[in-house]
Amino acid sequence: MALPGTRARGWAAAAKMAQRRRHAEAARGSPSRASQGSRAALYVHWPYCEKRCSYCNFNKYIPRGVEEAAMRSCLVTEAQTLLRLSGVQRVESVFFGGGTPSLASPNTVAAVLEAVDQISHLPADSEVTLEANPTSASGSKLAAFGAAGVNRLSIGLQSLDDTELRLLGRTHSASDALQTLAEARRLFPGRVSVDLMLGLPAQQVQRGTLPAPDPELTAEMYQEGRAVLREAGFRQYEVSNFARNGALSTHNWTYWQCGQYLGIGPGAHGRFVLQGAGGHTREARIQTLEPDNWMKEVMLFGHGTRRRVPLGQLELLEEVLAMGLRTDVGITHQHWQQFEPQLNLWDVFGASREVKALLAQGLLLLDHRGLRCSWEGLAVLDSLLLTLLPRLQEAWQQRTPSPVQGG
Amino acid sequence: MWAPMGRGRWHGCAHTVWATAAAHRGILEPRPMATRGAAAKSRSQDRLYSSADRKEKIDMSRFSVENIRNFSIIAHVDHGKSTLADRLLELTGTIDKTKNNKQVLDKLQVERERGITVKAQTASLFYNYEGKQYLLNLIDTPGHVDFSYEVSRSLSACQGVLLVVDANEGIQAQTVANFFLAFEAQLSVIPVINKIDLKNADPERVEKQIEKVFDIPTDECIKISAKLGTNVERVLQAVIERIPPPRVHRKNPLKALVFDSTFDQYRGVIANVALFDGVVSKGDKIVSAHTKKTYEVNEVGVLNPNEQPTHKLYAGQVGYLIAGMKDVTEAQIGDTLYLQKQPVEPLPGFKSAKPMVFAGMYPIDQSEYNNLKSAVEKLTINDSSVTVHRDSSLALGAGWRLGFLGLLHMEVFNQRLEQEYNASVILTTPTVPYKAVLSSAKLIKEYREKEITIINPAQFPDKSKVTEYLEPVVLGTIITPDEYTGKIMMLCQARRAVQKNMIYIDQNRVMLKYLFPLNEIVVDFYDSLKSLSSGYASFDYEDAGYQTAELVKMDILLNGNLVEELVTIVHKDKAHSVGKAICERLKDSLPRQLFEIAIQAAIGSKIIARETVKAYRKNVLAKCYGGDITRKMKLLKRQAEGKKKLRKIGNIEVPKDAFIKVLRTQPDK
């Protein structure tokens, strides 16, 4: 498995261009969904961590020794399998998540990207993100990931307080984190994101002297945080995502817009339409959870998909609603129409007394652009959905069935 | 003798001990509950049988009236009543002395836990004294105020009582109540000072208390140790010497008092009877004065303490009777039985049990309704004093409104439901029956009476249609070491009680008498009293009728919308504190919503208390990555489904839990 050296160098160069493209898309609202059947995002799950963090309930394992070559080969096989099944012709983003994918070797990353580009097409400007932990990612290693094709970093900072970091069971200190961040910004200018947590046991809002965190305090931190970020020029493009200079995560945006995505690696989720006969039904797919079993299955059967659940049209619309409203753009009429051409947003929500109350309260907006949360509404989206989801179900049941429905 | 007091609903004096949730700490008098006969069967299995052969019928005619004594033992809780009863049974050969007779009564789970006796024990003792064979009938009485009516009926079958007082603790509230009950029934009272073997025993001090409070000369007290058997023989002799034989006539037509009844699933109702006149035997046709139903007697006998058939029962004697009654309501306590061919004037004082404490009972889950229904039916088969009315609440679903004789009665019922039938229930805060004297002619016509009883707040008539409202009151007795007097007086004042009397019963013990509105003591008075007196104060009460009260109907509003299930009748002076408490409890249990909720207590248009539930500021799952949308969607849909089931008051969604937290009886800890 040769390193795609020349290609990899091309990635880093393409970064600036890709960023410019995203600027333009973000300004338009949402990335185009045209010919979506042939496009997808790809999620790659690296299931291993050095150490268990006290807060994390993701699917991860602390191995005694990782058989990386085997894992690499399985990830490549699975990527090939799913890309063929889905008939995806263009992969617009790749996200290496975990676990701690920065513990993997850059070789592995390069091998997966190479496989993707061979079966499908991975344009040079596609977003390729790697999650990195401060201690497992030295400057030279980050550079090697860059050479392997990664063009965006997501750093698991979590906190800049050593006491909190210890509480969380993180392996790094605040100064480690800042050093890694500086390296990352040097290597991936404009393409670095960080994860931060709020509501930790000892955290306090600057001015307040409130006791231990409670929902009220967490709410205050959230409101304070988003206000501070707004002032600093960040756009809150999703409930918990903020970006400056249009550096939105294309990959995550695909989730919220209910685009197609393939998930490979232990426990990875995907949602896509199968190529071929009756290829209208979108499936929710989950890969086998435990790394050893997953690898065994991939080696034996060529794939590690454990469960396939076909999504009904209503279920898909529920996801479009619940995910779309997480973004600042919300659900545009055009976006909705791509999923449901018969029943528009006005038909569904326009007449409901309860929805009208939410509109009157200024939590929700329904206008010529579409349906979206207000600044205040975004913070209480889960409450809004408890009104909107039943309303959608009701409208769906009352719709005039179209003769081609379910065809 | 049985003149009603005031406007009392209960005849005679309703004395006895008060008990609340504290009962399980063993404060309760080991008191039987009348007609709680579930114990009957198991009792007969465990009880120690007398040496007499069950099959050989005793000829009761040989006991003439002069050789019969009918008596009860009355005492404050834990003063040793049951132990004394055991010794008396042993001494007379009724139960085997070699066995370890520790409170012969078989006990239900609830009894063991609470230190109370739910089932009465009555026993006929055969005792030879100075060459004569005596028949001593020990009639056990329910002692708790909840069963005061039953107590009065039992005592009416006696001519004397043994008043047992602990040589260490001295006179307690229930001792006083019991004494006056016996005194007013004109019974001979034999004071017995028990536990003289204890290290801190001070029988001389107790003698003086008895002299001071009851006006009984000190030399009449018998000092015993029931535990060790010391002087117990003297007690039996005193029963013969100081208690007169019953004044009855064997030649007169049968007149028998029903003073207890139990239900046996094989034999039907077993009625405990005391014969005031005449004779009864198998085959007699008898009539219930209350129901006018006729029965044929299948079996008569004495209790020693198991049922032992006899040929006949004669005037002055006490025993049991089985006559094909199918339901305990056919053998109500206080009823008179007579021969069909010789009707007599019934004994005075009969009354059907009148509930004084009401509570709503609902299954925690509506799917449990039918199971709970059958459990309630089974329990009421043995307890005709519980009234059951179907009820339904918008918040809690279908259930019942149950009427109990008192709080203990309610708790025993609830515990038995939970323990014996494994039924979990929501029991709402107890209320008392209020009354209204109507002034509106229209309403009087509608109700067909001027004075109505209000059990449900929804029936509360408006002040403009009412001359006055009335609330039930009780006369409470508190005995306490004097160091707690100040605190106790403040507690009583806070409960709207009026002091009637205060005396020192010895150098450092005070007896206080207060007139209490009943609703002020039904919830947590006893617990408060016990905690502020470090457990030393004792309390008892008797019914004292009704008094005028400034009652108001208090509404609870959520953003201005009335919450029907929380409407409460409350005294004007208590409206603010009660309203505030309800608002606070609601505030703690109402989930936040997308807007602020004002919780208000109001009387008419006047707001008297307010709490606010702030609007949600944040309710959104922060991180939603990795493409695992399924779980998030499932959670949202489940919540949306649950939301449909919430009760809507205006646009506010109120979960059932919030109602339960406000309505249910507060846990006793």
Model confidence pLDDT, tens digit, residues A63-118: 878 899 999 999 999 999 999 999 999 999 999 998 899 999 999 999 999 999 99
- Can you give the three-state secondary structure of A330-395, one letter per residue? CEEHHHHHHHCCCCCHHHHHCCCHHHHHHHHCCCEEECCCEEEECHHHHCCHHHHHHHHHHHHHHH
Task: Please state, in angstroms and rounded to a whole number, the distance separating the CA atoms of residues B386 and B393.
Answer: 20
**Do B82 and B196 fall into the same domain?**
yes
Burial class (CB in 10 A: 0-12, 13-18, 19+), B100: exposed
**Do B315 and B410 fall into the same domain?**
no
Give the pLDDT confidence score for residue B86 in this predicted structure.
86
The answer to whether B236 and B92 have CB atoms below 8 angstroms apart is yes
**Do B233 and B125 fall into the same domain?**
yes
Instruction: Specify the CATH number for the domain of residue B316.
Output: 2.40.30.10
Q: How many CB atoms lie within 10 A of CB B126?
A: 17
**Do A248 and A154 fall into the same domain?**
yes
Give the nearest partner residue to A318 out of B593, B626, B633, using CB atoms: B633
**Do B88 and B119 fall into the same domain?**
yes
Give the pLDDT confidence score for residue A14 in this predicted structure.
41
**Do B201 and B95 fall into the same domain?**
yes
Task: Please state, in angstroms and rounded to a whole number, the distance separating the CA atoms of residues A79 and B576.
Answer: 70
| Cα–Cα nearest to B347, from B568, B125, B154 | B154
By three-state DSSP, how is residue B634 classified? helix
Can the peptide bond before residue B8 be classed as cis, meaning omega within 30 degrees of 0?
no
Chain A CB contacts of B624 under 8 Å are: 239-240, 255, 323, 326
Residue A15: both structure tokens together: 């970064």
Give the pLDDT confidence score for residue A7 in this predicted structure.
43
Give the nearest partner residue to B651 out of A58, A239, A357, using CB atoms: A357
Q: Which residue's entry shows tokens 């000190």? A: B218
Give the sheet arrangement for strand B387-393, strand by strand: B387-393, B397-404, B357-363, B425-427
| Contact state of A390 with B621 under an 8 Å Cβ cutoff | no
| Contact state of B594 with A378 under an 8 Å Cβ cutoff | no
Q: Which H/E stretch holds residue A74? A: helix A68-86
Q: How many CB atoms lie within 10 A of CB B640?
A: 19
User: B42 in a domain, yes or no?
Assistant: no
Give the pLDDT confidence score for residue B336 in this predicted structure.
94
| Contact state of A322 with B626 under an 8 Å Cβ cutoff | no
**Do A247 and A354 fall into the same domain?**
no
- Between residues 38 and 57 of chain A, which touch chain B (CB distance below 8 Å)? 43, 45
Residue B82 is labelled as binding a ligand: yes
Task: Please state, in angstroms and rounded to a whole number, the distance separating the CA atoms of residues B314 and B60.
Answer: 7
Give the pLDDT confidence score for residue A80 in this predicted structure.
97
The answer to whether B195 and B168 have CB atoms below 8 angstroms apart is yes
Residue A6 Cα, gap to closest chain B Cα (Å): 30
Pick out chain B residues at pLDDT < 70: 1-56, 96-120, 141-148, 351-353, 382, 622-627, 665-669
Which of B305, B339, B373 is at the close of a domain?
B339
User: A236 in a domain, yes or no?
Assistant: yes
| Total residue count of chain B as it appears in this document | 669
Give the nearest partner residue to A363 out of B594, B625, B639, using CB atoms: B594
Task: Please state, in angstroms and rounded to a whole number, the distance separating the CA atoms of residues B476 and B501.
Answer: 10
| Cα–Cα nearest to B533, from B475, B486, B477 | B486
| Non-local CB neighbours of A335 within 8 Å, separated by 6+ positions | A30, A33, A257, A320, A324, A370
**Do B559 and B638 fall into the same domain?**
yes
User: B148 in a domain, yes or no?
Assistant: yes
Which of A202, A233, A254 is at the close of a domain?
A254
| Non-local CB neighbours of A169 within 8 Å, separated by 6+ positions | A51, A52, A53, A54, A55
Residue B462 is part of which domain span? Answer: 434-549
| Contact state of B629 with A381 under an 8 Å Cβ cutoff | no
Q: Which residue's entry shows tokens 């790697």? A: A130
User: Which residues face B398 on adjacent strands?
Assistant: B392
**Do A80 and A195 fall into the same domain?**
yes
Residue B77 is labelled as binding a ligand: yes
Give the pLDDT confidence score for residue B391 in this predicted structure.
86
Give the pLDDT confidence score for residue A291 in this predicted structure.
94
Mean pLDDT (chain A) is: 86
| Non-local CB neighbours of A222 within 8 Å, separated by 6+ positions | A198, A379, B617, B618, B622
Task: Please state, in angstroms and rounded to a whole number, the distance separating the CA atoms of residues A214 and A220.
Answer: 10
pLDDT over 70 (residue A20):
no
User: A328 in a domain, yes or no?
Assistant: no
Residue A158 is part of which domain span? Answer: 35-254
Instruction: Specify the CATH number for the domain of residue A153.
Output: 3.80.30
Q: Does the beta carbon of A264 lie under 8 angstroms from any beta carbon of chain B?
A: no
Nearest chain A residue (CA) to B652? A354
Give the pLDDT confidence score for residue B142 in this predicted structure.
61
Give the nearest partner residue to B595 out of A252, A326, A361, using CB atoms: A361
**Do B206 and B70 fall into the same domain?**
yes
Chain B CB contacts of A216 under 8 Å are: 614, 617
Which of B427, B443, B477 is at the close of a domain?
B427
The answer to whether A115 and A74 have CB atoms below 8 angstroms apart is no
Which of B372, B400, B427 is at the close of a domain?
B427
The answer to whether B376 and B362 have CB atoms below 8 angstroms apart is no
The answer to whether A190 and A127 have CB atoms below 8 angstroms apart is no
User: A51 in a domain, yes or no?
Assistant: yes
Give the pLDDT confidence score for residue A336 in this predicted structure.
97
Give the pLDDT confidence score for residue B661 in this predicted structure.
82
User: A261 in a domain, yes or no?
Assistant: no
User: B25 in a domain, yes or no?
Assistant: no
Task: Please state, in angstroms and rounded to a whole number, the distance separating the CA atoms of residues B566 and B556.
Answer: 6
Confidence of residue A11 (pLDDT cuts 50, 70, 90): very low
By three-state DSSP, how is residue B318 classified? strand
Task: Please state, in angstroms and rounded to a whole number, the distance separating the CA atoms of residues A149 and A115.
Answer: 12
Confidence of residue A1 (pLDDT cuts 50, 70, 90): very low
Give the pLDDT confidence score for residue A27 in this predicted structure.
43
User: A122 in a domain, yes or no?
Assistant: yes
Give the pLDDT confidence score for residue A236 in this predicted structure.
96
Task: Please state, in angstroms and rounded to a whole number, the distance separating the CA atoms of residues A98 and A45.
Answer: 5
Nearest chain A residue (CA) to B651? A354
By three-state DSSP, how is residue B531 classified? helix
Task: Please state, in angstroms and rounded to a whole number, the distance separating the CA atoms of residues B430 and B21.
Answer: 13
Chain A CB contacts of B625 under 8 Å are: 97, 252, 255
B421 alpha carbon, distance to own chain's centre: 21
**Do B182 and B297 fall into the same domain?**
no
Whole-complex ipTM: 0.82
**Do B565 and B630 fall into the same domain?**
yes
**Do B274 and B237 fall into the same domain?**
no
Give the nearest partner residue to B629 out of A198, A218, A323, using CB atoms: A323
User: B16 in a domain, yes or no?
Assistant: no
User: A171 in a domain, yes or no?
Assistant: yes
Helix, strand, coil % in chain A, rounded to nearest 5: 45, 20, 35
Give the pLDDT confidence score for residue A35 in this predicted structure.
46
pLDDT over 70 (residue A359):
yes
Which of A254, A279, A295 is at the close of a domain?
A254
Instruction: Specify the CATH number for the domain of residue B71.
Output: 3.40.50.300
**Do B447 and B577 fall into the same domain?**
no
**Do B103 and B237 fall into the same domain?**
yes
Q: Does the beta carbon of A384 lie under 8 angstroms from any beta carbon of chain B?
A: yes
| Contact state of B622 with A239 under an 8 Å Cβ cutoff | yes
| Cα–Cα nearest to B426, from B405, B407, B384, B398 | B398
Q: Does the beta carbon of B633 lie under 8 angstroms from any beta carbon of chain A?
A: yes
| Cα–Cα nearest to B192, from B136, B235, B229 | B235
Task: Please state, in angstroms and rounded to a whole number, the distance separating the CA atoms of residues A71 and A77.
Answer: 10
**Do A45 and A162 fall into the same domain?**
yes
Give the pLDDT confidence score for residue A208 in this predicted structure.
38
* DSSP symbol at B651: T
**Do A246 and A355 fall into the same domain?**
no
Give the pLDDT confidence score for residue B143 in this predicted structure.
53
**Do A91 and A206 fall into the same domain?**
yes
- Between residues 536 and 595 of chain B, which touch chain A (CB distance below 8 Å)? 592-595
Residue B329 is labelled as binding a ligand: no
Q: When comparing pLDDT for A152 and B147, which is higher?
A: A152
Q: Does the beta carbon of A281 lie under 8 angstroms from any beta carbon of chain B?
A: no
User: pLDDT tens for residues A48-65?
Assistant: 998 887 777 778 888 878
By three-state DSSP, how is residue B165 classified? strand
User: B27 in a domain, yes or no?
Assistant: no
Which of A232, A254, A276 is at the close of a domain?
A254
Say how many domains are in chain A.
2
Give the pLDDT confidence score for residue B148 in this predicted structure.
67
Residue A102: both structure tokens together: 């920065």
**Do A182 and A48 fall into the same domain?**
yes
By three-state DSSP, how is residue B554 classified? strand
Say how many domains are in chain B.
5
User: A19 in a domain, yes or no?
Assistant: no
| Cα–Cα nearest to B541, from B6, B1, B144, B15 | B15
Burial class (CB in 10 A: 0-12, 13-18, 19+), A313: middle
Give the pLDDT confidence score for residue A169 in this predicted structure.
83
Task: Please state, in angstroms and rounded to a whole number, the distance separating the CA atoms of residues A236 and A344.
Answer: 27
Q: How many CB atoms lie within 10 A of CB B429?
A: 15
| Contact state of A97 with B595 under an 8 Å Cβ cutoff | no
The answer to whether B223 and B167 have CB atoms below 8 angstroms apart is yes
